[in-house]
Structure 1
Amino acid sequence: MNFFYQSLAQASSLPNVVAGQDIKLKPDLILGHDGTWPKVLTAWKNSGYKLTDQAKVMVTLDHAYPAPSISDRMFHQELYQLGKEKDLKLYTHGEGVLHQVLAEEETLSPGMIIVGADGHVATAGAFGVLAFSLSAEQLITPLETGYFTLIVPELVNITIENNPRANISARDIALKILGTLSGEIKGKAVALSGSYFEQASMDSKMALCNLLPEGGAVTAFIIPTPEKGEGLDFTIDAGSLEPMIAVPPAPTSVLPVKNLEGRNITVAIIGGCSAGRLEDMKVCASVLEGKTIHPQVTLIITPASRTVANQMDELGLSTILRSSGAVIMPPGCGPCPGKHFGLLSPWDKAITTTIRNSPGRIGSEDAEIYLASPLTVAQSALRGKISEPRQ
């Protein structure tokens, strides 16, 4: 068996597993945040919040913190009380977005099993973790029993070879996959490997795994060496890629940035779970240092965590970004969930590093959202137009 099926077999105490098989898995960690946990608590009340001794639970306030509404604040208070009673591991002081806080605070290792009521728990796949997204209602079973049922998905192997050019980031590679292979990865597990990962930073690995669920991947993870022969096999030459951009209404509607060169924008967003790590902030600051963003553009920057924000301060990046005209938000999700910190009007055209560009995602359903890399977004914010980053 390869790494994926071997890890599932071990976690389910079976000699082997095959695609399509129903298996019972014990997760090492259960994740949540304030975006979905109001629904979790509603469903969980039916058992009086029964919690198995086997469950290790981690919850962050990142979608709506500080609270933008009375109902959000009421949920915060309800969660505080429940966390105290059940000994849940809560992050309630602006520590940052779930997936970044997880990487900073927990020891993650290959083959570890994680479940969470969030669509992007596969970010942990950068560490070789097998992370599966569940609905709020589905999360009740592992909370109460310590186990969840998985129909073993088929596997897709994507080998990424060679080093990209200087104007290409992990986001461009992820967008290329969404644009060309979304039909192949939908409903499947994606194993990533290849020589690209020999030089890729952990920040880049997390960015890549983070975005692939938008193409329907059940999970995505990085393995040291290619394991072909089990499932579909694809190879991508990172050295031949060009900057990519997703156009409305879906992350899978992907084109080269040059095809949209010169299209006006009014909002630029960098940060959150997809591109709010230190590597992204350094790229943004390198573009904006000594310059001023276009007068018609609002540039919103959200560090993925308090640790990243502190590093930005120590390196002088925060001063560079603010001096350019950017607005730095508290660590967390920022505008991405569409709750606060920069909602879009019907007339806005936004270029962002967020994870979804469906109508109404960040405000008005009539706003246009384009997904790109931090480098593309920063350069576009300077010009006030979608701009292909040059070599």
Structure 2
Amino acid sequence: MNFFLKALGAAAGIQRVVPGEEITINVDLILAHDGTAAKILAAWPEGEQVAQPAKVVFTLDHAMPAPTIASRQLHLQLRAYARRQGINLFERCEGVLHQVVAEYFHPRAGMIIAGADGHVTTAGAFSVIAFSLAPAELVPVLLTGQLRLVVPETVIVTIKGGLPPGVSPRDLGLELLRRLGGGALKNKALLLQGEGVWQLSPSGRMSVCNLIGEMGCMTGMIIPPEEQVADSDLTIDASTLKPLVACPPAPTKIQPVHEVAGLTVTQVLVGGCGSGRLEDFEELAAAMNGRPVHGDVNLLLVPASRAVLQEMEARGLSRSLLQQGAVILPPGCGPCPGQHAGLLAPGDRVLAATVRNTPGRMGSPEAEIYLASPRTAGLAAVAGAIVAG
């Protein structure tokens, strides 16, 4: 058995599992946020209690601080629920859910996560197995601490070599999405291995795994180096990769940046769970190279956590980016879910280092969303257009 199957077997308390088998596994961490929690509360059986409160994590990150009265009412309801149930609630802009997991809950190889969010596979950077569930599906997990599932088949991808200068971990993630995002992974688990991912920093691995949620698979992860398998279904040479961009109307419509170079942009976004770590902002700043933000562009930065923001300030990065014309928003999701803080209007075109670009994702369905790396975002912010550089 490969590492993935062994970890599922351990979580189920059995020695061997095979694809197609139905099993019940113990869950180590259960996640939700203010974007999904309203549906959880609506489905919650009156008078019932969470089975293992210490393993439950809710964050206020999609609409925090509250942009509407309804948002604030939900936040108050979640606070009351969290206090009743004794669960962990992060309610003061500590960060976006997936960064909170990385910083506060010590993700480890083989850990099992279930979450009411589409991008919980970000934790796959730490060899965690994370399953994305609908809010109503999460309720029985909260009540029992267990998840019932059919063991998926695995697709193993080996990434050899290293990224060349000017190519980012997000470009690797986009390359994986380009090759595997057309339905090939449906009901399967994506396992990544090879020096091309193992030599990335934790932030870089999170950037890659963050995009697994857009590939249509059941789950995905980077397997530990000591668990490498000899055979793989696909090999990618990272040294041959180029900067990529996902074009509207879907994150799977991916082209080399040079093919869309020259398109003007009105907004640039870096941050959130896709690109809100210190390494991402350093990459953005390096691409901007001290130059001011173009006069027709809003450059919005959303630190993935309070700790990231504090480090940006300690290094003088916040100050320099602000002086160049950037706007720094509170830690969290920012404009990405389309609930507040930087929404798009008809005629807007944004280049974002985030995770989804379906029409209406960040506001008006008539706006255009392009997805790329923080480096490509930095070049566009100063040029006022997408640049191949």
Class of the TM-score when normalised by the shorter of the 2 chains: over 0.9
Correspondence for 1:22: 22
1:50, distance to aligned residue in structure 2 (A): 2.6
Matched residue, 2:258: 258
Q: How does 1:72-151 map to 2 (within 5 A)?
A: 72-151=71-150
2:349 maps to 349
Rounded to whole Å, the distance in 2 between the matches of 1:53 and 1:379 is 47
Q: Distance in 2 between matches of 1:150 and 1:380?
A: 44
Where does residue 235 of structure 1 map in the other structure? 235
| Alignment deviations for residues 60-108 of structure 1 (CA, whole Å, 9 cap, x no partner) | 1100100011111011111111111111111111101000011000121
Question: Offset of 1:55 from its aligned partner?
Answer: 6.5
Contact kept, 8 Å, 2:54 with 2:86, in 1: the verdict is no
Tell me the residue number matched to 2:5.
Answer: 5
The change in CA–CA distance for 1:328 and 1:28 in structure 2 (over 3 A counts) is same
Q: Which residue of 2 aligns with 1:203?
A: 203
1:154 corresponds to which residue?
153
Give the superposition deviation at 1:286. 1.8
Deviation at 1:228, TM superposition (A): 4.4
Q: How many residues align?
A: 386
Secondary structure (helix, strand or coil) at the match of 1:66 reads coil
Superposition deviation, residue 54 in structure 1: 7.2
Shift >4 Å, 4+ stretches: none
The amino acid across from 2:268 in the alignment is A
Counterparts of 1:295 and 1:49 in 2: how far apart (Å)?
55
Q: Determine the structure 1 residue equivalent to 2:49.
A: 50
Say yes or no: does 1:325 pair with 2:328: no
CA apart distance, 1:56: 1.6
How far residue 15 of structure 1 moved from its aligned partner, in angstroms, is: 2.2
SS of the residue aligned with 1:213? helix
Letter in 2 for 1:375: R
Change (3 A) 1:304 1:53: closer
Q: Which moved more, 1:286-295 or 1:4-13?
A: 286-295
Q: Deviations over 1:6-45 (max 9, x none)?
A: 110110112211112111111011011111001111101x
Q: Which moved more, 1:316-325 or 1:289-298?
A: 289-298
Structure 2 length as normaliser, TM-score? 0.97
- State the alpha-carbon separation in 1 of the partners of residues 340 and 350 from structure 2: 15
Equivalent AA in structure 1 for residue 337 of structure 2: P
Greater shift, 180-189 or 142-151, is seen at 180-189
1:166 deviates by 1.4
Corresponding position of 1:173? 172
Deviates more, 1:364-373 or 1:280-289: 280-289
Alpha-carbon separation, structure 2, partners of 1:290 and 1:375? 13
Letter in 2 for 1:355: V
Cα drift, residue 289 of structure 1: 4.2
Is contact 2:177–2:252 with CA below 8 Å preserved after alignment? Answer: yes
Structure 1 portions without partners, runs of 5+:
none
The residue type equivalent to 1:374 in the other structure is P
1:293 Cα offset (Å): 1.2
Hey, what does 1:244 align to over in structure 2?
244
Aligned to 1:37: 37
Find the residue that maps to 1:185 and give its secondary structure: coil
SS in 1 for 2:318: helix
1:139 alignment partner, SS class: helix
Paired residues of 1:94 and 1:331 also in contact (CA < 8 A):
yes
Residue in 2 that maps onto 1:299: 299
SS in 2 for 1:351: strand
SS at match of 1:338: coil
Q: Secondary structure of 1:255's match?
A: strand
Q: Which moved more, 1:257-266 or 1:185-194?
A: 185-194
Q: Give runs of aligned pairs for residues 364-375 of structure 1, distance below 5 A.
A: 364-375=364-375
Report deviation, 1:215: 1.2
- Distance of 1:198 and 1:55 partners within structure 2: 31
2:214 match? 214
Residue deviations 1:171-218, cap 9 Å, x none? 101111111122322321111110113421000000101111101122
Q: Secondary structure at the match of 2:299?
A: strand
- For 1:270 and 1:118, the matched residues in 2 are separated by 20
Tell whether 2:267 aligns with 1:286: no
Distance in 2, Cα, partners of 1:367 & 1:61: 26
The Cα RMSD (Å) is: 1.2
What percentage of residue pairs aligned between the two structures are identical? 47
Instruction: Note if contact 2:161-2:239 (Cα within 8 Å) is conserved in structure 1.
Output: yes
> In structure 2, what residue type is equivalent to 1:109?
R
> 1:5, 1:288 → 2: CA distance?
44
SS of the equivalent of 1:206 reads helix
